Amino acid sequence: MNPKPSLEPSSGPLAGVRVVELVGLGPGPFCGMLLADLGAQVLRIDRVEAAKAVDRSRPATNAMHRSKQSIGLDLKNRQGLEVFLELCDRSDVAFEVFRPGVAERLGIGPETVCARNPRLVYGRLTGFGQSGDLAPRAGHDIDYLAISGALEQLGRADSPPTPPISMLADFAGGGMLLAYGILAALFARESTGAGQVVDAAMVDGSAMMFTPFYAAQASGFWGPRGTNLLDSGAPFYDTYETADGKWIAVGALEPQFYAAFLIGLELDSTSLPDQNDKSGWPILRERFSSAIKLRTRAEWEERFSGVDACVAPVLTPEEAPLYPHNKERNTFLNIGGVPQPAPAPRFSATPAASPRPPMHPGENTEAVLNDWGIPSEKVAALIERGIII
């Protein structure tokens, strides 16, 4: 069984901030994790059906639900709806990841919730935003990247646009953007005294992530996909296979790093095309590839150890937590038997506590609701009726 959720005050820069998270797909829980990592008290609202169906004999393992509390709540029941509204009355932040209009149909939209608690920051995360032709449409990471102009720029010159795993739009341009917006709204509340609605759209976030490349294209510095310095076009900024079928990453952009890289490969610069002569890049790529294929990844690690050539091993997710630098900085943690990235960034004056294991839906509902100020007799009656679990 999972341990009971800690009801002790949290530590970290967001200690004392209460957040209601309506359960949803990845970007929403990721936003909640970011806030919980920094000390916010995040209460996840799960569906009653999910709380009933979960196997409580097995530990919860979803890292995005670490350090949170959870209740199962029937929002379609009038009394369940009232519990949700009471929780929002006691909260600093509430956020949801529904399509536009869904929260309003449930009776928990910002007009209703914020009228009761004008200091509430109400976050909304969608793919296309709360307005615009596509606002009510379904989509996924690849679609948001496509219409933001980001996807066309991803991939090699001889390949079609290549979608990354769903990190860029969903998590960076979505969950992290929402967390950023929530924090900005909390900061604004300090001077205005009022909360506000944060409309975070993954299309908007995807476009923002590519701001420097739009500027580079406008100036003529950036060309077609896969032909530039930072998108695999340059042979000195790419990945190469080693003798043992593993990979190293090379980022030897600046002249001094490039010179150190050539020394490590035992290549004579006078026998090679100039680094910045694009017509010679195919020759450089072939020479680099042939040289790197002669040694294993471990041998290249040893060869470039302590050398500023911007060469690094391409680690697997299993290897990364064991890498010496990552171990020294505790970049990864093992929580409940699940290796996962540690909270970031780090704070000198208000460090956050180590994350707690995630909770199952509806874990210790009574204790959590009592802590949030819902009377125990009311909680017991709602549990008996199956409205909460």
Catalytic entry in 74, 92, 143, 170: 170
Residue-wise DSSP of 51-115: HHHS-TTS----GGGTT-EEEEB-TTSHHHHHHHHHHHHT-SEEEE-PPTTHHHHHT-SHHHHHH
Neighbours of 98 (CB within 10 A): 18
Nearest-5° Cα angle at 375, 370 to 378 = 115
Neighbours of 340 (CB within 10 A): 18
Q: Is residue 170 annotated as part of the catalytic site, yes or no?
A: yes
> Is the Cβ–Cβ distance between 64 and 29 less than 8 Å?
yes
> Which secondary-structure segment (H or E) carries 45?
strand 41-46
Q: What does the alpha-carbon distance between residue 110 and residue 100 come to, in Å, rounded to a whole number? A: 11
- And the tokens for 55? 């196997």
Q: Is residue 238 annotated as part of the catalytic site, yes or no?
A: no
Q: Is 2 helix (H, G, I), strand (E, B) or coil?
A: coil
Point out the residues that are catalytic. Answer: 140, 170
